[in-house]
Chain A
Amino acid sequence: MEAFTAIESVLVPLDRANVDTDAIIPKQFLKTISRQGLGQYLFYDWRYLEQGGQLLPNPDFVLNQEPYRNGRILLGRENFGCGSSREHAPWALADYGIRAIVAPSFADIFANNCVQNGILLVSLAEAEIGGLFEKTAAVKGFSVRIDLAEQVLRTADGQLYRFGVDPSVKFKLLHGLDDIQVTLQHQEDIKAYEAGRRFLMPWLFHWHET
């Protein structure tokens, strides 16, 4: 996983509440058995138009417009990432190049999945988000810099927003760590817990025989 330190990018405005994971990547692309190459399908139904059997970029969709095409930071509304648990959503975002999303709130499972894929989620107050949307509308190519170590988002016009982040999430993102290795350092604890549980509640084990 790519470590996250600081990132600077144009802010890509996606002005919709409740952006769901079906919209981030529709079901027909969940049939893959790989994690790679999903960026081309990101926001598929909004991003492309079908015309005479041909797939064309929808000029109305923000990622098909300059200067947003290569944006790496999304600006969204409340409850971003709601719906299905598909990790294909952050896989597609990360593969496209999105490294951070700024919004008032995020769905829980999506938030977990983003951390596993090096995507930083920045939650700010509704009013602050509203202000950022206004600036992206007023200033073409309005950009921000997010510094994870300092936990600040700085706008190109010098405003500064502090954001909260779970210390363990911060550590993981800063170092690009894999959880399994960390957990397996506790394997003696897991085995001890398991032995106790097996003794107290044997019906939870060996269900083939019960």
Chain B
Amino acid sequence: MAGQTLYDKLWAQHKVLEEPDGRTLLYIDRHLLHEVTSPQAFSGLRNAGRKVWRTDANIATADHNVPTTDRRAGIADPTSRLQVETLDQNCADFGIEEFGMMDKRQGIVHVIAPEQGLTLPGMTVVCGDSHTATHGALGALAFGIGTTEVEHVLATQCLWARKSKSMRIWVDGELPPGVGAKDLVLAIIGRIGTAGGTGYAIEFAGPAVRNLSVEGRMTLCNMAIEAGARSGMVAVDDRTVEYLRDRPFAPSSALWERAVSVWKELHSDDDAVFDREVHLSGDEIAPQVTWGTSPEMVTAIEGSVPDPGNAPDAVRRQAWENALVYMDLAPGVPITEIAVDRVFIGSCTNARIEDLREAARIVRGRRKADSVRSVLVVPGSGLVKAQAEEEGLDEIFRLAGFEWREPGCSMCLAMNADRLESGERCAATSNRNFEGRQGAGGRTHLVSPAMAAAAAIAGHFVDVRTWK
């Protein structure tokens, strides 16, 4: 019998029961809640007179609607305010712990859960948010769900699911200097397409993945959904264990040793068989920039905007043509000649401390280009913000003319006041370049934190591998 994949192990360990047709009732260890996808779930519970099955499995925070400027005056937009207040009230009514807007531990839900040790290896982690895949970086089975499923988890601590197929994305070699996890995941999406992972659980593996920090692995798993996969994961190793040591909600003393010995089994067996294998060479990855309105519309920094005439099929040709019209780009334009109006450094993809360090490394001692209207740096959590300030990164950004903000989702999806004006072009470290994502009519180019910082200084995209 072939060995088990990491996904096989995580799946088997959470099976409460399996119906003859393969539908499985899976136990959920950790449920994360935010204000946008939970209010209708709580009203569903109320209407049916149901309780929360296990309050201590839940943790909530407000991240999508919160202002990133001074918060002491509260939220100006009444609908945003109502949504955040509704979360506060629901958590109070149902006995769920919440990191409220003024709590130092507040932040983007996918940043704060690992940071607090609320995400642990071997867990099933769900949230009404597609970027829940992030938590797979710690050897967990993590995936996004809809609001009806949020209500289901609250009421039963379980979800009905069918096992996905398995895919291993193996990255050999080493990423070159200046090339990071974001470039790697964009290159992967460029290779397999935004639907390439549909129906699969992806395990990222190989020397170049092992070599990433746990934060880098989160960036990688975060965008598994942009490749179509609900979950992405990385096996547990010493880096995972060291990352979790002394986190506030991680086990301590005797339980720590016990937990670590269990966690060390969370990897695919050598003889495990995957339904699909994809190989990439890490050494060949260059900094990536998206040029269109889907994350698969991506190329290397030395590339140029493609000609729809060269698209592989008619459906894509149409999609590329639409994208170039929306993005106001012409075929053949070198990526390095694309000028940006705004820069956004943040989001659940790239707002952890090492992302901010990487951006600061590029910026130190320089100023943003005059042609760039604004540069927003939005830390992923209150604790990331405090750490960055302790290291003086905020000062580096301020001296460069960047804005240093309070934590939240911010301009990744523009539900709060941070957004692009119609026609504005933005270099963003976030995860989606869909039409209107960062504001109606706004144009998004997805890049790494280093590439975003360099674009802010130069006023256009530049190759950070040659940055001096």
Contact = CB atoms under 8 A, between A and B. Distances in A.
Interface string A93-114: 0000000000001011100110
Contacts of B194: 18, 79, 82
A17 B315 contact: yes
Contact size range, A: 35 or more
B68 to A, nearest CB: 16
Contacts of B156: 180, 183-184, 187, 190
Which of B16, B54, B250 gathers most chain A CB within 10 Å? B16
Interface stretch (A26-34, A54-62, A138-146): A26-34
A58 B238 CA distance: 56
Interface stretch (A2-10, A65-73, A152-160, A199-207): A199-207
Nearest to B164: A108
A79 B415 contact: no
A16 B56 CA distance: 44
Contacts of B199: 108
Contacts of A117: 148
A45 interface: yes
Interface in B36-57: 36-37, 39-40, 43, 48, 50, 53-54, 56
Interface residues of B, number: 80
A85 B129 contact: yes
B172 interface: no
A184 B82 contact: no
A16 B151 contact: no
Interface in B431-459: 432, 434-437, 440
24 contacts: A18-B294, A22-B436, A23-B434, A31-B83, A33-B82, A45-B440, A79-B194, A83-B130, A84-B413, A85-B130, A85-B144, A86-B36, A86-B146, A105-B198, A107-B228, A108-B198, A109-B145, A113-B146, A168-B21, A179-B160, A180-B155, A183-B156, A210-B251, A210-B252
Interface of A: 15-18, 20, 22-23, 26-28, 30-35, 45, 77-79, 82-87, 90, 105, 107-109, 112-113, 116-117, 166-168, 179-180, 183-184, 186-187, 189-190, 193-194, 197, 201-208, 210
In the complex, the 8 A-B pairs of residues with the closest C-beta atoms, listed nearest first: A203-B251, A113-B146, A33-B39, A116-B148, A87-B146, A79-B195, A85-B144, A31-B79
